[in-house]
């Protein structure tokens, strides 16, 4: 009765860190010292190191040699590239979901949207952010292409990071009904509308961000306090 191949400690640690990032409990740029994590997770540094290299490969943490691991803090250019990539991928995702989704899949989508609504009603902002991301990951998995799905599993947590970096002062997360309307269009097999709604949805999220001016790395610390 264990269909999943028994996740290793390392995987579990990586997932818990990812969760913390998705729920905005770990802000961008924070240092992830191995010793601290080791005692927090009650494991040896070795496993922490493994988890950190995995997360680095996913782009969620940045590894500076001999200096340690830090939660990634994507540039505005990264953010624009990310949304461009997501528009490309998720339009395709919607198309294949319409082509392939079983009734069980549609039930899962409905169930997920219910969870989102509940979190919203409970005013659980952290859960809302995480669930919003996971909606897109679920769609990608139903889409059936494992390379697209794998990439979406990386891009969604990164999107959470980007939102926590560049969001305008506390917009109340993505509007609820956009996910619902996408699912409805999928259920109607209305490909044109579904892809259009998805692209608009992603555009809305991106437009909420302040990505316009200079890059973070271009901040002029001399003028900053003049």
Partner DNA sequence: GCGCGCAATATTGTGAACAATTTAAAGCGC
Partner DNA sequence: GCGCTTTAAATTGTTCACAATATTGCGCGC
Q: Of 40 and 111, which CB lies nearer to DNA in the complex structure?
A: 40
Report if residue 68 touches DNA, rule: CB under 7 A: yes
Sites for DNA among residues 10-29 (CB under 7 A): 10
57 binds, among DNA, a second copy, none (CB under 5 to 8 A by kind): a second copy
Q: Of 5 and 213, which CB lies nearer to a second copy in the complex structure?
A: 5
Shortest distance, position 35 Cβ to DNA, whole Å: 5
Report if residue 7 touches DNA, rule: CB under 7 A: no
Q: Of 67 and 170, which CB lies nearer to DNA in the complex structure?
A: 67
- Number of residues interacting with a second copy: please give it, by CB under 8 A: 26
Report if residue 215 touches a second copy, rule: CB under 8 A: no
Question: Which of 28, 47, 128, 157 is the binder for DNA (CB under 7 A)?
Answer: 47
Q: Of 12 and 91, which CB lies nearer to DNA in the complex structure?
A: 12
Is 76 within 8 Å of 162 (Cβ atoms)? no
Q: Of 109 and 152, which CB lies nearer to a second copy in the complex structure?
A: 152
Sites for a second copy among residues 109-168 (CB under 8 A): 144-148, 150-151, 155
Question: In three state form, how does the secondary structure of the chain look?
Answer: CCCCCCCCHHHHHHHHHHHHHHCCCCCCCCEECHHHHHHHHCCCHHHHHHHHHHHHHHCCEEEECCCEEEECCCCHHHHHHHHHHHHHHHHHHHHHHHHHCCHHHHHHHHHHHHHHHHHHHCCCHHHHHHHHHHHHHHHHHHHCCHHHHHHHHHHHHHHHHHHHHHECCCCCCCCHHHHHHHHHHHHCCCHHHHHHHHHHHHHHHHHCECCCCCCHHHCCHHHHCC
Sites for a second copy among residues 73-102 (CB under 8 A): 78, 81-82, 84-85, 88-89, 92
Report if residue 95 touches DNA, rule: CB under 7 A: no
């Amino acid at each position: 009765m264990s269909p999943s191949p028994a996740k290793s400690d390392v995987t579990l640690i990586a997932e818990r860190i990812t969760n913390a990032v998705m729920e905005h409990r770990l802000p961008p740029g924070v240092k992830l010292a191995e010793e601290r994590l080791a005692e927090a997770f009650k494991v040896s540094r070795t496993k922490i190191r493994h988890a950190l290299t995995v997360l680095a490969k996913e782009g969620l943490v940045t590894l500076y040699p001999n200096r340690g691991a830090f939660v990634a803090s994507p540039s505005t250019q990264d953010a624009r590239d990310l949304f461009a990539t997501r528009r490309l991928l998720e339009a395709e995702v919607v198309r294949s979901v319409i082509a392939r989704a079983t009734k069980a899949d549609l039930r899962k989508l409905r169930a997920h949207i219910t969870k989102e609504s509940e979190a919203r009603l409970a005013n659980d902002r952290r859960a809302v952010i995480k669930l919003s991301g996971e909606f897109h990951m679920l769609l990608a998995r139903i889409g059936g292409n494992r390379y697209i799905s794998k990439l979406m599993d990386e891009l969604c947590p990164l999107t959470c990071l980007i939102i926590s970096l560049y969001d305008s002062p506390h917009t109340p997360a993505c509007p609820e009904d956009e996910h619902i309307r996408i699912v409805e269009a999928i259920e109607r097999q209305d490909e044109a509308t579904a892809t259009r709604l998805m692209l608009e949805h992603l555009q809305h999220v991106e437009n909420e961000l302040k990505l316009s001016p200079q890059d973070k790395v271009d901040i002029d610390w001399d003028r900053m306090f003049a």
